[in-house]
Chains A and B, each alone.
Chain A
Amino acid sequence: EVQLVESGGGLVQPGGSLRLSCTASGFNFSSYWMTWVRQAPGKGLEWVADIKEDGSEELYVDPVKGRFTISRDNAQKSLYLQMNSLRAEDTAVYYCARDSNVIGLDIWGQGTMVTVSS
């Protein structure tokens, strides 16, 4: 079964750090761009970051540039999001998704909740 499972969410204080993980199964992970999308409580979807198949290119939405880092380990079929200098406005459910190029984000994980609060 093609599946993505996120982990690593939780409660963190403003200014703190958190590392999210996403483990893939059922497909050739190293053949796809991978994406993080977030959704603040009661709000819409916001694209956060993308990483190329081999990790050689990363793209970020402006509000997280310089604070978040997307990475991957193809041998472990895992995607990561290192989040530093967290702010209250980063509070959201974070989803990882498979980016099937022109097909779009065709596989999504169940999401992991990140709460930034003192």
Chain B
Amino acid sequence: QSVLTQPPSASGTPGQRVTISCSGSSSNIGNNFVYWYQQLPGTAPKLLIHNNNQRPSGVPDRFSGSKSGTSASLAISGLRSEDEADFYCAAWDDSLRALVFGRGTKVTAL
């Protein structure tokens, strides 16, 4: 069982808004930054969001992150077929002294 809880799947039609949740605790999300990684099929993960809601250069602004208390979410506004991927949330856990990942959410464009 992962320390961070994500839904296994999410979907939407092209153009729709899709949201992925990530639930943790006070030792991880509640006290540290949240990161989101996108893994396209057959490729290495890529940093999508850092420091809860910051996009690295080159990441489209249709991706946005937020955090409230011990939960975080990733939103994809205007879903595109090329966004189909696995998305992982991550945060440092002060109790485990480890970086913890959620189990990942597979996003499908219907």
Contact = CB atoms under 8 A, between A and B. Distances in A.
Q: Which of the listed residues B47, B51, B101, B103 has the most CB atoms from chain A within 10 Å of its own CB? A: B47
A41 B32 CA distance: 29
Contacts of A108: 44-46
A104 B45 contact: no
A37 B39 CA distance: 13
A47 B99 contact: yes
Given A102-B50, A105-B37, A110-B44, A47 B100 contact: yes
Interface residues of B, number: 24
Interface in B24-47: 33, 35, 37, 39, 44-47
A106 interface: yes
Q: Which of the listed residues B45, B47, B97, B99 has the most CB atoms from chain A within 10 Å of its own CB? A: B99
B37 A44 contact: no
Contacts of A95: 44-45
Size class of the A contact interface (CB-based, 8 Å): 20 to 34
19 contacts: A35-B99, A44-B2, A44-B86, A44-B102, A45-B37, A45-B88, A45-B101, A47-B99, A50-B99, A59-B98, A62-B98, A102-B33, A103-B51, A104-B35, A105-B37, A105-B45, A105-B47, A106-B47, A106-B56
A35 B47 CA distance: 14
A43 to B, nearest CB: 8
A46 interface: yes
Contacts of A110: 44
A46 B101 contact: yes
Interface string B1-31: 0100000000000000000000000000000
Given A102-B33, A102-B51, A105-B37, A44 B103 contact: yes
Contacts of A47: 90, 98-101
A53 to B, nearest CB: 17
